[in-house]
Structure 1
Amino acid sequence: MLEINMDDVIAVIQSVQSGLIVIAAFLLLAVVLTVAVNRKTVADQSVRKLTHSTSWIIAGVAAVISVTMMLTGPLNNMITMATAEKHEMSAATIAKTNKLAVDIEREGITLLQNNDDTLPLAAGNINVFGWASTNPIYGGTGSGALSDAYDTTSLLDGLHDAGYKTNDELTKFYTDYRTERGVIAVTSADWTLPEPAASTYTDTLINNAKDFSDTAMVVIGRVGGEGLDLPTDMNKDGVTYTDNSSDYQDFPEGTHYLELSQSEKDMIDLVTANFDKVVLVYNGANAFEFGFLKDYPQIKSVLWAPHPGQAGFEALGEVMTGEVNPSGRTADTFVTDLTKTPSWNNFDAFQYDNVQEFEVDSARGVRSPKFVNYVEGIYVGYRFYETAADEGLIDYDATVQYPFGYGLSYTTFEQKMGDVSYANGKVSFDVTVTNTGDKAGKDVVETYFNPPYTDGGIEKATANLVAYDKTKELKPGESQTITIEFDDDDMASYDAKDAKAYVLEQGDYRISINENSHDEIASATVTVPETITYNTDGNTHNGDKTVATNAFDDVEGDVTYLSRADHFANYAEATAAPTDLSMSDDVKATFYNNGNYDPTKFDNADDQMPTTGARNGVKLIDLRGKDYDDPEWDKLLDQLTFDEMDNLIANGGYQNAAIASIGKVRLSDVDGPAALKDNFTGVSSIGLPANIALACTWNKDLARQYGESIGDMAHEIQVSGWYAPSINTHRSAFGGRNFEYFSEDPVLTAGLASEQVLGAADRGVYAFTKHFALNEQETERNGQLCTWADEQSIREIYLRPFEEVVKADGDAQAMMGAFNYIGNTYASAHVGLNKTVLRDEWGFRGMLETDYFSGPNYGYQTADQAIRGYTDIMLATADTTNHVTDHSATSVIAMRRASHNILYTAVNSWRYADGQPDANMPAWQIAMIVVDAVLGVVLVGLEVLAVRRFLIRRKSATMVR
């Protein structure tokens, strides 16, 4: 989701262009008349003066009418949002939310290394090195940015509150060097990593530090945000940063953003040369390269502290002292060399070389279609590394530094797996977790399955997370029994080639509880006696309403996908960078953007025009709590006019619009994966830790509280819809929005995101789960980016979290589409995605919204195509191509369906919980009416005065004669 930026400005200017032209034309006419009607052309002074006065009064009337039409037309919704009443959060809610933020970070901080039991460390003096210690990362940028309206707990604050005294001389050294981090904005970035050159540390500074404490902490920070992925090549054109010294490059040729800069290396060299006990804190959201740790035995302990929000750093000091026992687990795999990941060569936007006919000229310049290939198929993250190791393709220990699901504790645990039962399609067993150490702590139960695999058959990974849970805090010697249960079809694979359906193949399935994706604790075997194909109405996969069958044959493209066959024999070929940069003629034939999309070509002559404008007397409030298919909905929808439906559909940016005739009030929908952020009024809520921190907790209870907290804050600031959670997949460590996405694993993501949505829904707030779908990179996300992937990976990896969220919440919901194309079709217009899968298979009831709508600037968004592609509402703040232009029966049917979905979601929100909400006229409209009335009186008065003077002059002239 975009914040207000230049696209908004351009869109607003475009939307009022005709009104401005009218005003300019009348002003020009007045000037022409004033100049033309002079002494040479009109001798009669009274006529000349009346003409002058009247021409300017007419220009004034035209200006008033035009401005009023602009205000009540294209600018109406934007001004209404900008002038809406501002609501403040209560002190109690602020305190409660901050406490939750600390609780999340307490369990999200992950202990990656703890040699010699260096941690916990008793409170006392500690030297904190690294410029990031004075300017840490609290959240992402763009829609993930936090409000500055609330107090923020800094990293050093967290240490001080835990009883540590930090070296003020070092802190001053860093703040004197620089106080601000480079700006990472939606369309541009300064990737500078401020870090004083090692040569600038004086001997006195280092000696004083050694006198201050024998322990050092080093802080490394990395930022990410909306609109830009992290640089995979710091010397690539377009990547901007400033070196910290003229003596060397911070990033020599071939280096990327997720490894140490030269200044950081030199600083660590300096610290480890002077201190034998060093704690490293990584403050970032993206999996970092930690291979350098083997060269520094002085670095005893490593903590990963993901984005903590505004209060979460309070937890860092608590974890350091041992007041809190770390229980975080990695939500991604940390590898030693990110350039050797399967997606490395295909994480980018590749320019087609033969698509001149689809170029669009926008305010951002000429733009043409690009593409990205999801070549790794289902082998994303740990699924690849575990399977590749089992197949002998990689040396696991040399490749993987920290597995998925990995994390250390200050205590030890024992997990005992009970007998596994398999009956009536359910796999279940108990796991008894016992704290065998001497400190209280929490443990995570991770359950994986390894399915039977036939060489060359359906692609399958050898490790697949299937269920997880987290214990309560267990005291030393205390035990807790956790029941694990899941459906056998959770182990099914999608066969896109033969069955064209989900298939649970017969054979032995190893069910294991693990320390992490790699290290098994115990296992048992479940035998599926015969193959089950989920391809009949009475036997659908995972409770699907209709049979899941191929819906993405058009998305696979001409791509070689990674296969496990013959021990990943095609690895080199499949994972190589693309060499064919041409769009095929078949793909071109059905590629549409604003330059060639004509809705009338897709009209169905057999469609019958629905009823509009009926007077049935039904109000929206009458439908609250009624089924989506209740006949009363048809009566309500019959009442809507074309213009009412169009206004509701077109003006969905940060709101959904009012319809006075049915008692539909304007509802506020706002940004923020970690907060609620009204971009127009400036009102924001407290910023919670980013979803990556929540993912590292592996705690569904905290996720539910997260959603409930969002709901509570929404009530206080009068918000109905939350543009979150963001649940795309960490396909690459360089994803710019990995901070707001959860994980590389769809099951971990699904469990936590579902709880967030349910928590918000419990408060009557509809969550716009986003970005639907295949929006795993920011690079050229709105540049007509064609995303190619195979159906199995689409369903098993990228759609799985969305599926679970939809099925977890049977109430009215919302979903936000993605900027990218799915294959060669804009995501918000892909019928297979938005109808076949989302609505027919999963049973989604609610509204589907586009991502930020800037049709002329992006070149491919149009409401006509979107509503026919089963999207309901345009996230637009100004009039562009967001209005429906086709008035055919086919179009009106789509508008009626879209209006149904929007209204169903709206009436079941908390704003309608206590009956019909008040719908007062916005204050600005009242002011406009008053001003218009006053100006009208003034203009009429002026014209009357001009005529009277004209008559007086005429009379005087007659008397003289």
Structure 2
Amino acid sequence: MLDVNIDDVIAVMQSLVPYLVGIAVLFVAGIVISFAVNKRTVQNAAVRKLVHGEAWIVVLLGAVIAVSMILTGPMQTLMDNASAPKQHLTQATIRKTNDLAVNIENEAITMLEDTDNVLPLKSSEPLNVFGWASTNPIYGGTGSGSLDGSYRTTSLLDGLHQAGFRTNTRLSDFYTKYSTKRGEIAVTSADWTLPEPPAEDYSSSLVDNAKQFSKTAVVVIGRVGGEGLDLPTDMHAKDVVYNNNSKKYEDFAPGQHYLELNRTEHDMLDLVTRNFDDVILVYNGANVFQMNFLKNYPQIKGVLWAPHPGQAGFKALGDVLSGKVNPSGRTSDTFLTDLKKTPSWNNFGDFPYRNVDEFKIDSARGVRSPRFVNYVEGIYVGYRFYETAAKEGLINYADEVQYPFGYGLSYTRFSQKMGRVSHDNGKVSFSVSVTNTGNKAGKDVVEVYYDPPYINGGIEKASTNLIKFSKTSTLQPGQSQDIKITFNDSDMASYDDKDAKAYVLDDGDYDISIRSDSHTVLDHQTVSVAKKDIYNTKSNTHNGDKQVATNRFDDARGNATYLSRANHFANYDTATAAPTDFDMSAKYKKNYYNNGNYDPKKFDKAGDKMPTMGAKNNIRLASMRGKSYDDPQWEKLLDELTFKDMDSLIANTGYQNPAIGSIGKIRLSDVDGPAALKDNFTKVGSIGLPSNVSLACTWNAELARDFGRTIGDMAHEMLVSGWYAPSVNIHRSPFGGRSFEYFSEDPILTADLASQQVLGAADKGVYSFTKHFVLNEQETQRNGQLCTWSNEQAIREIYMKPFEIIVKADGDAQGIMGSFNYIGNTYTSADPTLNQTILRDEWGFKGFVETDYFSGPNYSYQNADQIIRGGTDAMLATTKTTNHITDRSATSVKQMRRACKNILYTAVNCWRYEHGEPGTKTPAWRMAMYVVWGATAVLVLGLEAIAIIRFRKRRGEAQTAVTVEGEKTLNIENQE
């Protein structure tokens, strides 16, 4: 979702134009009347002055009325948001949240290398810290997920100092003098500059001083990403902006990407490794980094990945380096030797259609026409591809993968052993005994994978699939812990989108293994399924589905060729090649809609009857708290709503959902996430916790639950009801700009942690908006009518899976946020298959669905009429655009009624209603407007009185003057 940006400004200005034009017309009319009514056209001075005065009184009244219409119309949501009470966190909550941030980062920091046991370091020894990023590290991403700057931030160097390390101040001063900020990355533009002093700028005295200061060097490399823009895959592309660190050379050669070392960083590493034998590299970023350079630097003996720590988490880095904390992080993505060799490389970016002139729209943001992206890799995302490709002989694993998914080192050693695996009544269960066999206390992660039976040319299946994970408590040397593992055998089913068109658990042997990472097997056993199970009947649905899961997205498959395991990935080169077909087929054009060709009346149903509106049933919303979603009392409450009530509730749900006084519905505040609570209007924010990538690296569900509960605690103190999070899209490409918000390349790791966040917030009565539903894996052209093509198996097994698991964990009185893109040729928020058939009918979701940020005319395809028919309930709009309902047919009103029920059901079950109907208070801006109305009324009455008095006086004076003049004339005549 967008932070406040140019789209807000454009949308507001567009909505104000009619009113401003009206004020201008009145003003011009006043001037025209003032000049037109003069001594030549109207000789009577009293009348002339009265007309002038009345004209400007009308102008004043018209201006006040127009401004009032602006405030109560297109600006109402903005004014309500901006004038909301500003609540701040207590010191106790600040301390508690900071402690949690440190705990998360303690377990997020992942040790990738520890040659010669160079780590941990002795905190009593001084430390050289090289790299400009050491003085300007990455705390979080940019955009809606950025952090609030009003709280104290623990810097990377602060974290080292708190652990007892004394760092070389000459080095840190050297970096801060070079630059104090990195290039700015905003939602719509970016400066990708990576400040780093050239090696020649390091004086010999500075290097000599460093060698005398300490024998150890820590080097920090940082990368940042954010909403709106993906990370550059070619730093020399025409739209990529950055400044070189030297006039003597280019930082990046043509074709180099952002996630590899640049020339200046290479030179800096050369300098450091020439002068130090013990070097520790700290990578600070959320996206995986290409570390193939390590083989050239044997002096780099320790490598730590420190993903975004939030505002307090860098304390953990010092504690891990010193050994106070034993690292227990595991990679949430696969680190590759060459990021250009991912299956998605050629199909990630901007691909415009060339035959879509009829769908082009000239908006305030320029001419917009449809784009596309093909998810050609199918289910083979991340480690699923590399493990399967290695098994099939397509790749040499060691050449392609540097650090596997789920990989991480420790200062101690662990052993894991599986107990006997049982398979009874559809349940697979066993225990894993974890023992600390080393000499330091620490935590270990149990990772459970399955390898299903695969038939060449049959249902696509990866050879390695995470199915369960668990983290131990802190184990002392010699101590053991038994971890209980249980899952449904149906969790191992694959979706067959070709033949069965349903989930299928094939018969055969399923290899169940525990691994230290996706590639390294520690122990394994076999589960045999005697009979194939096809989940395609009402009495046999998949994993509790309310309806049978069957093909719903055949039209989203498009014309792409999808990667297949058949014949050892024989079609790899063909499937993963860059697209060559840039034409939208006639088939997809036929049902393609944007604001240029969508007419709601074409979709009205003749048999629909107009629902009741405006009834006087005297039912208050608070009385519905805790009642079933299907309670008949809801219908009586909904009968009370007028068309205006419903339209306001649906159209004005940007960062809030508005009040409806007639039923006791108060205004509720919904704010940005995902690492914090961030009110873009009151400018009050919470403390920023570590990013979801950091949480994913902990592999700790308990920490995720604590994360959600802490969000809930902060929400109470900030009077916030809804949280625009968690973000659960998949790391399809390493270059996703918003990867810091998302968890992982794996849907199970993502789902199990995110669902705990949702449950934790729900423990406090805060509803979450899980986002972005669905197939929103790139920022490039995300709101440029982006048609996303994928096959049903990948959609269900990879991209929808986190949403499904979260909904089934707690789909009651929660939220879902849509995505900007199209799924196939249908805008996701206007897709009834997605938002009704799948989400509600199949999964059983109860709550409300909201669009991503609504800027209809600017994006050229968002309009409320189509969206409510597509199963979405609310527009994340802050000003009047195309977010209001224009079609008042029975079909439209029925959809409005459905949408309002979903919003109200969620609202009444949040914490704000837990003690009955909350009190209401008129917003300050409305009070000010009423005062202005009163003052204007008094002023106008006063001006009218003055005008009348002056008119009468002038008319009397004129009559007296006429009488006197007449008498003078008569006297003259008499004298004559």
Instruction: Give the aligned partner of residue 522 of structure 2.
Output: 521
Q: CA deviation at 1:571?
A: 0.1
Structure 2 residue 910 is matched with structure 1 residue 948: no
After TM superposition, the runs of 4+ consecutive aligned structure 1 residues lying more than 3 A away are none
Instruction: Give the aligned partner of residue 664 of structure 1.
Output: 665
The separation in 1 between residues aligned to 2:809 and 2:569, in whole angstroms, is 36
The separation in 2 between residues aligned to 1:363 and 1:118, in whole angstroms, is 57
The separation in 2 between residues aligned to 1:76 and 1:576, in whole angstroms, is 50
1:869-888 equivalence runs, <5 A: 869-888=870-889
The aligned amino acid for 2:100 is: L
The separation in 1 between residues aligned to 2:747 and 2:489, in whole angstroms, is 17
1:638-677 equivalence runs, <5 A: 638-677=639-678
Q: What TM-score, normalized by structure 2, do the two folds share?
A: 0.98
2:504/2:532 contact within 8 Å kept: yes
1:418/1:430 contact within 8 Å kept: yes
Residue 556 of structure 2 aligns to a residue in which SS? coil
1:349/1:785 contact within 8 Å kept: no
The aligned amino acid for 1:653 is: G
1:214/1:277 contact within 8 Å kept: yes
Instruction: Give the aligned partner of residue 94 of structure 2.
Output: 94
Residue 880 of structure 1 aligns to a residue in which SS? coil
Instruction: Give the aligned partner of residue 335 of structure 1.
Output: 336
The aligned amino acid for 2:426 is: G
The aligned amino acid for 1:203 is: S
Instruction: Give the aligned partner of residue 825 of structure 1.
Output: 826
Q: CA deviation at 1:45?
A: 1.2
The separation in 2 between residues aligned to 1:203 and 1:675, in whole angstroms, is 45
Q: CA deviation at 1:920?
A: 1.2
The gaps in structure 2 that reach 5 residues or longer are: 964-976
1:300-339 equivalence runs, <5 A: 300-339=301-340
The separation in 2 between residues aligned to 1:39 and 1:5, in whole angstroms, is 52
The separation in 2 between residues aligned to 1:218 and 1:88, in whole angstroms, is 38
The aligned amino acid for 2:76 is: N
**Identical-residue share of aligned pairs (%):** 67
Instruction: Give the aligned partner of residue 76 of structure 2.
Output: 76
Instruction: Give the aligned partner of residue 150 of structure 1.
Output: 151
- What per-residue deviation string (whole Å, max 9, x for no partner) do you get for residues 753-809 of structure 1? 000000000000000000000000000000000000000000000000000000001
Q: CA deviation at 1:617?
A: 1.0
The separation in 2 between residues aligned to 1:72 and 1:748, in whole angstroms, is 45
- What per-residue deviation string (whole Å, max 9, x for no partner) do you get for residues 918-954 of structure 1? 1111122112111111111111211221111111111
2:851/2:875 contact within 8 Å kept: yes
- What per-residue deviation string (whole Å, max 9, x for no partner) do you get for residues 206-262 of structure 1? 011000000000000000000000000000011000000011110001100000000
Instruction: Give the aligned partner of residue 49 of structure 2.
Output: 49
Residue 417 of structure 2 aligns to a residue in which SS? strand
Instruction: Give the aligned partner of residue 173 of structure 2.
Output: 172
The separation in 2 between residues aligned to 1:924 and 1:246, in whole angstroms, is 54
The separation in 1 between residues aligned to 2:237 and 2:126, in whole angstroms, is 42
The separation in 1 between residues aligned to 2:251 and 2:368, in whole angstroms, is 33
Q: Which moved more, 1:466-475 or 1:9-18?
A: 9-18
Residue 159 of structure 2 aligns to a residue in which SS? helix
The gaps in structure 1 that reach 5 residues or longer are: none
Instruction: Give the aligned partner of residue 581 of structure 1.
Output: 582
Q: CA deviation at 1:811?
A: 2.6
Q: Size of the alignment, in residue pairs? A: 961
The aligned amino acid for 2:182 is: R
**RMSD, matched Cα:** 0.6
The separation in 2 between residues aligned to 1:655 and 1:144, in whole angstroms, is 18
Instruction: Give the aligned partner of residue 452 of structure 1.
Output: 453
Structure 2 residue 214 is matched with structure 1 residue 204: no
- What per-residue deviation string (whole Å, max 9, x for no partner) do you get for residues 27-59 of structure 1? 111100000111111111111111111111111
Structure 2 residue 609 is matched with structure 1 residue 608: yes
1:385-396 equivalence runs, <5 A: 385-396=386-397
Q: Which moved more, 1:481-490 or 1:35-44?
A: 35-44
The aligned amino acid for 1:61 is: L
Structure 2 residue 215 is matched with structure 1 residue 214: yes
The separation in 2 between residues aligned to 1:675 and 1:562, in whole angstroms, is 38
Instruction: Give the aligned partner of residue 919 of structure 2.
Output: 918
- What per-residue deviation string (whole Å, max 9, x for no partner) do you get for residues 553-584 of structure 1? 11000010000000000000000000010000
The separation in 1 between residues aligned to 2:570 and 2:77, in whole angstroms, is 57
The separation in 2 between residues aligned to 1:901 and 1:613, in whole angstroms, is 19
2:812/2:845 contact within 8 Å kept: no
The separation in 1 between residues aligned to 2:153 and 2:494, in whole angstroms, is 46
2:331/2:406 contact within 8 Å kept: yes
2:467/2:491 contact within 8 Å kept: yes
Instruction: Give the aligned partner of residue 849 of structure 1.
Output: 850
The separation in 2 between residues aligned to 1:50 and 1:810, in whole angstroms, is 67
Instruction: Give the aligned partner of residue 782 of structure 1.
Output: 783
The aligned amino acid for 1:563 is: S
The separation in 2 between residues aligned to 1:616 and 1:516, in whole angstroms, is 61
The separation in 1 between residues aligned to 2:350 and 2:556, in whole angstroms, is 16
The separation in 1 between residues aligned to 2:612 and 2:80, in whole angstroms, is 30
Structure 2 residue 51 is matched with structure 1 residue 63: no
The separation in 1 between residues aligned to 2:925 and 2:652, in whole angstroms, is 18
Structure 2 residue 120 is matched with structure 1 residue 117: no
Structure 2 residue 374 is matched with structure 1 residue 373: yes
The aligned amino acid for 1:863 is: A
The separation in 2 between residues aligned to 1:59 and 1:745, in whole angstroms, is 63
The separation in 2 between residues aligned to 1:55 and 1:924, in whole angstroms, is 29
The aligned amino acid for 1:67 is: V
Q: CA deviation at 1:16?
A: 2.0
Residue 543 of structure 2 aligns to a residue in which SS? helix
The separation in 2 between residues aligned to 1:452 and 1:737, in whole angstroms, is 35
Instruction: Give the aligned partner of residue 358 of structure 2.
Output: 357
Residue 555 of structure 2 aligns to a residue in which SS? coil
Q: CA deviation at 1:349?
A: 2.1
1:131-146 equivalence runs, <5 A: 131-146=132-147
Instruction: Give the aligned partner of residue 636 of structure 2.
Output: 635
Instruction: Give the aligned partner of residue 431 of structure 2.
Output: 430
2:128/2:168 contact within 8 Å kept: yes
The separation in 2 between residues aligned to 1:435 and 1:273, in whole angstroms, is 38
The separation in 1 between residues aligned to 2:96 and 2:636, in whole angstroms, is 44
Q: Which moved more, 1:920-929 or 1:835-844?
A: 920-929
The separation in 1 between residues aligned to 2:69 and 2:564, in whole angstroms, is 60
Residue 780 of structure 1 aligns to a residue in which SS? coil
Q: CA deviation at 1:810?
A: 4.4
Instruction: Give the aligned partner of residue 683 of structure 1.
Output: 684
The aligned amino acid for 2:106 is: R
The separation in 2 between residues aligned to 1:811 and 1:763, in whole angstroms, is 14
Instruction: Give the aligned partner of residue 192 of structure 1.
Output: 193
Residue 66 of structure 1 aligns to a residue in which SS? helix
Instruction: Give the aligned partner of residue 466 of structure 1.
Output: 467
The aligned amino acid for 1:288 is: F
The separation in 2 between residues aligned to 1:569 and 1:77, in whole angstroms, is 55
1:430-579 equivalence runs, <5 A: 430-579=431-580
The separation in 1 between residues aligned to 2:44 and 2:885, in whole angstroms, is 53
